[in-house]
Amino acid sequence: MMITTNSPKPNPNKSLLQFIVLINLLFVNSRIIPLNPLPSLSDDDPPVYLWPLPSKFTSGNQTLTVSPDLSLYLGSGSLIVRDAFERYRGIIFKHSSGSPSGERSEPVYDITNLSIIVHSDNEELQLGVDESYSLFVTKNDGLSIVGQAVIEANSVYGALRGLETFSQLCTFDYETKTVKVYKAPWYIKDKPRFAYRGLLLVSHSLRKCSVILNDENRALDGTGAGYPDLWPSPSCREPLDVTKNFTFDVLSGILTDMRKIFPFELFHLGGDEVNTGQIKFLAEY
């Protein structure tokens, strides 16, 4: 005798409910570790854009005003830094004109002076020069050790990088017609990530409406007209004639004049392809 029993079929709705309850229990009991975000901004403050992002920086929650008569205190007589300060002051206060709106009396600004301290008098730009800098931006309230805005660098080129960052911290407020620094006090310590940076401008896509396309270089070409003795013959103007001392006198004069204009360790003589097969020959020569 066979006895058969009909097993109850599983309820799909019940299984789905159990699955949802299990997921909720796991989510509640799990430990959530939040990431440390960048300094947050309040709804009233516009975002602060720093590009490229400094390697080390801290900020606060104060809003400082920058005087349109911002002055420079420079610990040296560097013309490079002075000229750069004037350029960046024109950028920072590009939209400023007159007194702030709503001000009946002489306004009081939090930042009236920018101090730049450069520890080296050497202003030669060489590959590998120290371009690091430190930037402090605080309110001059008598309590801060630093006070106001201070850029400290080992070279003038580090000071230029600090000026660029300081200009990015300055934001023009169109309502009050003033320049402000949000999320102060700021402490930034940074340096370029790469020792050599390059910029390629692709000009083939620019509009040709105002560009003269006539090429007259070939018509005005006069290679060897001034110094015909530099070439082996009138029909051979490609290599220089190295059998004559006159050729080396001309080259020496050119390099001497260029050295006076560009006092750098590296001097590029031109050319884009390198014949690696000649390296051994040149080394032996």
Q: Looking at the domain 56-190, which fold is it?
A: Chitobiase; domain 2 (3.30.379)
Give the pLDDT score at 271: 65
213-248 exposure pattern, b = at least 16 Cβ within 10 A, e = fewer:
eeeeeeeeeeeeeeeeebbeeeeeeeeeeeeeeebe
Whether 284 sits among the annotated catalytic residues: the reply is: no
Q: Is 137:169 a contact under the CB 8 Å cutoff?
A: yes
Q: Which two tokens stand for residue 174?
A: 């169109």
pLDDT, residue 218, reads: 60
By C-alpha distance, which of 88, 85, 83, 90 is closest to 116?
Answer: 85
- Both structure tokens of 177: 């017609």
Say what the pLDDT of residue 3 is. 37
Per-residue 3-state assignment (H helix, E strand, C coil) for the chain: CCCCCCCCCCCHHHHHHHHHHHHHHHHHHCCCCCCCCCCCCCCCCCCCCCCCCCCEEECCCEEEEEEEEEEEEECCCCHHHHHHHHHHHHHHCCCCCCCCCCCCCCCCCCEEEEEEEECCCCCCCCCCCCCCEEEEECCCCCCCCCCCEEEEECCHHHHHHHHHHHHHHEEEECCCCEEEEEEECEEEEECCCCCCCCCCCCCCCCCCCCCCCCCCCCCCCCCCCCCHHHCCECCECCCCCCCCHHHHHHHHHHHHHHHHHCCCCCCCCCCCCCCHHHHHHHHHC
Q: What confidence score (pLDDT) does residue 101 get? A: 55
**Domain residues of the chain, as ranges?**
56-190, 228-261
Residue 14: per-residue pLDDT: 52
Query: Which residue out of 175, 238, 265, 273 is catalytically annotated?
Result: 273
The pLDDT of residue 267 is: 75
Residues of the chain with pLDDT under 50: 1-10, 12, 16, 19-41
- pLDDT score, position 124: 87
pTM for this structure? 0.63
Q: Can you give the pLDDT at residue 269?
A: 73
